[in-house]
Each structure stands twice: as structure tokens, then as C-alpha cells.
Chain A
Amino acid sequence: MTEAAVDVLASAAAAGAPAMRPRWLRRLLANRSVVTGALILVAFVLAAVLAGTLSTHNPTRLEPASRLQPPSARHFLGTDEFGRDVWSLVLYGSRVSLLVGVTTMVLTSVGGIAVGLVAGFSRRLDTVVMRVMDGLMAFPAILLAIALMAVRGPGVWNVIFALSVVYMPRTAMLIRSTVLSIRELDYVQAARALGREDAGIAARHILPNCVGPLLVQGSFVFAYAILAEAILGFLGVGVPPYVPSWGNVIASGKNVIREAFWVSLFPGVALTLAGLSLNLLGDGLRDLLDPRLRVQ
């Protein structure tokens, strides 16, 4: 093939894209899962961002005189054993959850892309990388996260580090398989034959094809990360206990569950809804992109 032919093909592909976009967007908006999931997620993001305005009290302010009060006009979701307002705790807790979720998602995507590209392009490194990823994935996620927290100590950045290490391999494998499948396509072969550099091929052909699966995978990683952060907090190996986080509030509510079930109830509901939104988003995106794509 001549260079001109390759360029024609490439430009045809590029030209096809703008015409596709409105249809693609329409399909996106028509998918109920995606829309519902996205709406709930937006609500959470707003809650986190506007936590300051929306909350009625300072979540870390202890008010011993009003401990364990049921939901009321003054305290929408009641108070915990120190008199802290549960509504405000849930709002501020969403910040920690979202911070951990988004950052973990970004770090696993970036890390996954880097590792996946290397594995996909280099035959020699591929075997090594694959084995290392398999090894990492052999550890049950929560267990590895707990162990990493044990060695690093408490703190939100250690949580993010631990969770990123745990979830990165899955993304890397995903990118790698995308690389492998696209590498074999005719027009990519042609580009390579013509001397186009791997980096260019990666940028122009592979990465755009990864966006979809990355988004799908990303939503699930986001969901796992939020849940994992809450579990770590609940177990006492996450962020320090007096920092508002959903896991911490559920943990403190556990001791007074009979006298004040609302303390553990509402952050749990928030967790469930957050997870629900992300799972819906992920499911919907996956159905749109490729119903056969099974992401773990």
C-alpha cells in the first residue's frame, strides 16, 4: 500500500468519527442505566463539593449534650455518640470517598496504560509483566490493601496508594489485550511497515480504542475503591477514626446499633447508592460499547 492510501484510510476513519458522535451520544443518553447512574453520581459529586453549604453542622464538632439523638428537624439524620451530626458526617464523608475513588481510578488508569502498552508492544517484557500482574491479582484485593496499610500506616494517601496497587493490574491487562488485538489489524500493520513509530500508533490508533473500555473499567474501579475505603475505615486501618468517612461512621455506629441504629444506617445507604450509581454507569457503558466485553 502506498502512503497516500494509508492516509486516505486514516482520514476516512477520522472523518467517520464526527458523523458518529451525535449518534453515539444519542445512544448514550437513551441508555437508562447510564443516565440513572450518571445522575446519582452527579448528585454525590455535588454533595461532596457543596458539603460546606449543605451541611447543617461542623461534622467534627463534638457536642456531648446532644448525643444519640434520632433524626429530627435540627439533625436530619440524627447524631452519633459524640453528638456529631450524621447528615454533615455523611456529606463530608462523601469527600473522602470521592477523593479516594477518583484518584484511585485515575492512578490505575494511568498506571494500567503504561504497563499495558509496554506489555502489548514488547514481546520480551510481555511475559514478565504478565506474570507479575497475575501474581498481584492472586491476592484478594481487600487483603492486599489491608497488608499494604499495615506496613505504610494510616492516612488517606496511603489508602489511595494501596488501592491503586491492588486495582492497577486489571486495567493493565485490559489495555494489553486491546493493544494486542489492534496491533494485528491491517491498517496498523501497514502503518508499521511504513515506519510509523510505535508511539504514534499508540496515540492515534490504540488509545482512542481504549477510552471506552477504560471508562467501563474505571467506573468499576471507582466503585471498588469507594467500598474498599469504607471497609478499611470500618476495620480501623484506613483514615484515622476521627476523620469523617463513611467507613468510620459505620464503625462508630456499630457500638450503639441498638440504641441508635441511624448512625450506621445512613452512611451505609450512601455507600450503597454510590456503588449503585457507578455500577449502573459501568454496566450501561459496557452494554453500549460491546455486550460481550466481560470486565473483571
Chain B
Amino acid sequence: MARSVPVRKALVAAVAVLLVIFGAVAGAGAQSKGGVLRVGNLGEPPSLDAHWTTASITETLTNHIYEGLYSLDSSNKPIPMLAEGVSVSKDGLVYTFKLRQGVKFHNGKEMTSEDVIPSLARWGKQSPYGKALFAQVADWKALDKYTVEMKLKEKSAIVLISLAVPSNFGAIYPKEIAEKFPPEVKATEYIGTGPFKLAEWKPDQYIRMVRFDEYKSRAEKPNGYGGGKTAYVDEIRWVPVPEVATRVAQVETGELDFADDLNLDSYDRLKKNPNAHPIVSKPYYWLVAVMNKKEGLMTNQKLRQAWQAAIDIEPIMKNVAGGKPEFYRMDSSLAPVEITAWHTKLAGLPWNEHNKDKAKRLLKESGYKGEPIRFMTTQEYKWMYDFALLTKQQLEDVGFNIDLQVVDWATLVKRRNNSKEYDVFTTGMGAFYDPTHHIYLTAGWPGWTTDEDILKLQSDLARETDPKKRMALWEQQTRQFYEKVPVIRYGDLFGLRAARNTLKGFNDKTERVRFYNVWLEK
């Protein structure tokens, strides 16, 4: 029997009202699509070619437009991204990767195995992570359109992690681009599979990335750097603002929505601001002075040990951290605390000894005659200049003669490739997810660590698959590091970021920033 019309009408009305209420309640916390997200960078990236450089600004930018086969989850373990999954043969020598289907590049083309092979080959020739992996690889082959097979020469512990690392990563380019640009040459065409695509790059003015509407997101929830990615904002505008005081001021006044690499003195002020808030990023960098071990004064191991013995790290870190203890951490481990799998707690290491007598003795034993040591740094990363200047004073107090050369970052990155141009340079190391990724322990990266014992342990680490045995090797390597001193390790520095309160969904647990899954509240 049909319901009477008035009752039916009432029911429909009730349902409609309930839907509206429900929708409003649900909508209150929901993501809103649209808007332009303005981010302040500290400068121009040397390139947007992900294979070409380890520079962290390039890492941050390229991870919005490109993707690799794997990515890292919230506990820094590899999870599939462009790959569907992998099956490994019993002897551990053959990895068969199945690719996801229907993934489009920004130019409309579908990503297939014929794009993966040349992209990874190019990456393998240029990136230290790629080179480390490819040293163990015998062959890559495309089995069919969506399957790629990798044959190893020996068992390896680092296959998935190498493909998952976000810095200088194995981004998948279209075949045409991967083959057009040789590895040492910067690619100048930027087509990827990521949730954003490059719309415009005006050097010194901005880099504009817009939402890629045909982006095929993974079904899972966002997980660390991986999982599902949604581009809520219409556009990300990366604006270079080299003056750090200006960068933070612009977030406070609302001209920027986000800024990174801020000086720690601004923390208190940001806390008080009603429209913006500070974000402390841990880890950020650990500070290092890299020694030129190919030629020049610092090939002398005793001299390097003298430097290590002389420096008093805590006052340096405190000054670099703006006087705030919350912003630095004294630690001798080569992997920071947040990388729980590889953090070491070894005692008796000659780190932070600040022993002037020992330093002077080592200086004498090294045969150093007071020649000027060319120490290259930059003011663009303020903390680099800060620790360089403080180090110079400490070292000169024990008898070193330091020639501090202040250049811009782009020049430093260029010059550090030439062994004739410097003796020591400053930089910061980000988090490495695997012991074999510590680039300063390789022969190919500037500084050129060619010590046989160190290199042998690194290749052992690449082959050994048992986690406990790997940790033992790693601890051994750490002790060796402090004896041979390929670089000088200072302390851990935390970073300061600032965001407007209208910026929602930001994952502050990842080491570097990502703006997918992020929206602007209206």
C-alpha cells in the first residue's frame, strides 16, 4: 500500500535535512580544493633534474613532479610507489618488478618499462645512490610492458632502499628525455608522473607547479613520503627569498604561506604570532667539514685528526642554534636518532674531545708548517658560515692557519668537484636511510674518500643481508670513521619552518617538506 503523500514528503524533507546537517558537519573539517600555495625558498635550485644533484632544494622540488619505483613510509622503510610490487628469486639475485598500469606522464604518455630502464640507467651513472646499487647489478631488462627484471652480481641488502631514497633519486622520466640528456648534463625538460607538473620557471622570480589532473594516486592512505597523494591546491608557487629575515617576515605578514630554513632566532616571535606558527624539523642537518683527500694539505691524516681533536663542538652548535638548546643535539652517531635502525651509541670515540694539547701534538706530528688551509663556505646557508667562522677561530688558537673563502652556494657546489680549488668545505648531511648511502664514505663524492678499509666495509654492508650482522659492521665502520677522519662531524642541528595557520594537512614528521595532501583553509 502506498504511503500517503504528506508522510512521504515529510520523510524526504527529513532525509534532506539530515543530509545537509551531515554534510555540514563532515565538511567542517574537510579539505578544500584550490588556491595558490606560496612557499619561500632560500634560493634557486641548481637544477630540476632529479638525477643530477644531491642538493636538498632540488630534492624537495623534484619530489612533487617526479616519482620513483619505491618510496619511504613513515618509519623510513621502502614501500612501492610506481612499482606494484616485487618478487625476489630464492637465491636473492633476481628481482622482478611489476609496474602499475595506467600511470600517465605529464605529457599524456603512459609510463611503461621502456621508460623505466633508461631512466634508472641514467640515474645509475650520476647519482651516488644509483652508482652504489648499479655496482652490484649485472643487468636490467624489460620483460614486458609492465614488468622489469633486475639481475644482481651478488646478494644485496640495498636494492629497495636505493630505489626508495628521495634525494637524488631514481625518478622515472619518459624514455625520450632520459635518452636525450647524458647523465652529466642537466636535463632541461621536466616531465614526470607526480601529482604536480611544472608550469613555469622564472629564475629568481618563482617556480610554478600546477596540479596534474590525470595523476593516478595510490589507493592507500598517505604514509610518510608514499601512499596516496592528493594535490588539493591548484598551484604551488616556490619563491626564492634569499634574505632569511625577509622570508620569515613574509610568513608573518601573510605574503607567504610557508617558509623553510629560517634562522632560529625567529622562533620566539613566531610562537607569539596569532596567524602563523613555527615548526621544528628534526632531523635537519648534521654539520660536517669535508676534507679534500685527493690532493693538498688535508691528504695528511694526522692533520685531519688534529682538526678533529681541536674543536669544541658544543659552543659552536649553541651559537648556530641561536643560543637555544632545543635546537641542537650533541651526538657522535653517524645516523641521527630519528633513523632508529642505524643509530649507534658507542663510547670512547675521539669526537668532541676539544683537547688542545692533543691537537697541538698531532699538528706537530703531521709536519704542518703553517701553510694556509683553504676552507670554503657560504653565507647562503647561514649555519654553514657560522660554524666555519667559529671553527676558524678555534683552530687558529691551536696553530692552524685558515684561509676562509666565502662564496655563494652555487659556486661552492661547482668548486667542490675540483680537487685543486679547496682543502675543506662546509656542508650539512641529511638523514641517510641506509649505511651504504653515506655519500661521504664513497670515492665518487667530493672529498674523495679512497681509504681501502672504509671502502671495503661499505661493500660488505652492501652485500650482507642479515640486519644484526649489518649493525655490527656499521659500528665497526663508525669507529673507523673517527680514526681515519674522512670528514669532521659536528653536532645535529634542527631546523625552523614557519607556516600560516590556514595551511592544513602538513606532515611535519618527514625530513623534507611535501605539499601534496596539503590544503589551504578558506
Contacts and interface: CB of A to CB of B under 8 A. Distances in A.
Per the CB under 8 Å rule, do A and B touch in the complex? yes
Interface of A: 61-62, 64-65, 67-68, 81-83, 236, 240-242, 254-259
A61 B245 contact: no
25 contacts: A61-B393, A62-B319, A62-B389, A62-B390, A64-B316, A64-B318, A64-B390, A65-B315, A67-B319, A67-B323, A68-B323, A81-B386, A82-B319, A82-B389, A240-B404, A240-B406, A241-B379, A241-B406, A242-B404, A255-B244, A255-B382, A256-B245, A256-B263, A256-B265, A258-B266
B141 interface: no
Given A81-B386, A242-B406, 10 more contacts: A62-B389, A64-B318, A65-B315, A67-B323, A82-B386, A240-B404, A240-B406, A255-B263, A256-B245, A258-B269
B393 A259 contact: no
Contacts of B266: 258
Size category, B interface: 20 to 34
A265 to B, nearest CB: 15
B245 A64 contact: no
B245 A236 contact: no
Contacts of B318: 64
Interface string B378-413: 010010011001100100000000001010000000
A70 B318 CA distance: 19
Nearest to A257: B245
A149 to B, nearest CB: 14
B243 interface: yes
Nearest to B265: A259
Contacts of A259: 265
Contacts of A258: 245, 266, 269
A255 B265 CA distance: 9
A259 B266 CA distance: 8
Contacts of B393: 61-62
Contact of B245 (A62, A241, A254): A254
Contacts of B265: 68, 81, 256, 259
- Ranked nearest first, the 10 interchain pairs of A and B with the lowest CB-CB distance are A64-B319, A64-B315, A259-B265, A62-B393, A255-B245, A241-B406, A62-B390, A256-B265, A255-B244, A242-B389
A61 B396 CA distance: 11
Interface in B244-264: 244-245, 263
A68 B322 CA distance: 10
Contact of B390 (A68, A82, A236): A82
Nearest to A60: B393
Contacts of A240: 404, 406
Contacts of B245: 254-258
Contacts of A256: 245, 263, 265
